[in-house]
């Protein structure tokens, strides 16, 4: 597959997609469909957050996706601040 989205190399040598799909406001079946559409067109980094209250929607979209989980990167932010 030709990579349309460039990657960034992290300090540990891991490469992740430089562009991700944000899921703020995506919930329910419409959210699952939107996230699956993003995956279908090539997004592999999916961003969610505890405060979006849609991690279940993101999980369901991943379960329904035809792309293997190992090819997806999921980021999630918490509401807690670290010291």
Q: Give this prediction's pTM.
A: 0.85
Beta bridge partners of 21: 46
Determine the pLDDT at residue 1.
45
52 in active site: yes
pLDDT tens per residue across span 2-37? 567 899 999 999 999 999 999 999 999 999 999 999
Reported as half-sphere exposure (CB side, CA atoms, 13 A), residue 54 has a value of: 24
Considering 24, 43, 50, 52, which one is annotated as catalytic?
52
pLDDT tens per residue across span 34-66? 999 999 999 999 999 989 999 999 999 999 999
Q: How confident is the model at residue 80 (pLDDT cuts 50, 70, 90)?
A: confident
């Amino acid at each position: 597959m030709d990579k349309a989205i460039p990657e960034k190399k992290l300090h540990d040598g891991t490469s992740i997609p430089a562009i991700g799909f944000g899921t703020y406001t995506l919930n329910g079946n419409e959210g699952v469909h939107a996230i699956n559409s993003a995956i279908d067109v090539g997004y592999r980094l999916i961003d969610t957050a505890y405060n979006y209250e849609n991690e279940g929607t993101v999980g369901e979209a991943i379960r329904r996706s035809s792309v293997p989980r190992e090819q997806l990167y999921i980021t999630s932010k918490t509401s807690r601040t670290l010291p």
